[in-house]
Amino acid sequence: MHISVAGFLRGFIDEKASLKIAVAGAVCNDPEIKELASRSSHIALRGFVDDLANLYSASRASVCPIGGAGTKAKLLESLQHRRLVFASERSLEGCFLASRPACSRWISQPSTLFRRLIQMH
**Closest residue by Cα to residue 102 from 84, 120, 119:** 84
Helices (H), the chain: 5-14, 31-37, 52-57, 73-80, 102-108, 110-120
Its pTM stands at 0.72
| Number of domains into which the chain is organized | 1
**Bridge partners for 85 per DSSP:** 62
**Closest residue by Cα to residue 98 from 83, 88, 84, 113:** 88
- pLDDT tens digits for 30-75? 999 999 999 999 999 999 999 889 998 998 888 776 655 545 777 7
Mean residue pLDDT across the chain: 76
* pLDDT given for residue 48 in this prediction: 92
Domain range enclosing 68? 5-120
Q: Has residue 104 got a pLDDT over 50?
A: no
For residue 57, the Cα-to-chain-centroid distance in whole angstroms is 15
Mean pLDDT of 19-35: 90
Task: Report yes or no: 114 and 21 within 8 Å, Cβ to Cβ.
Answer: no
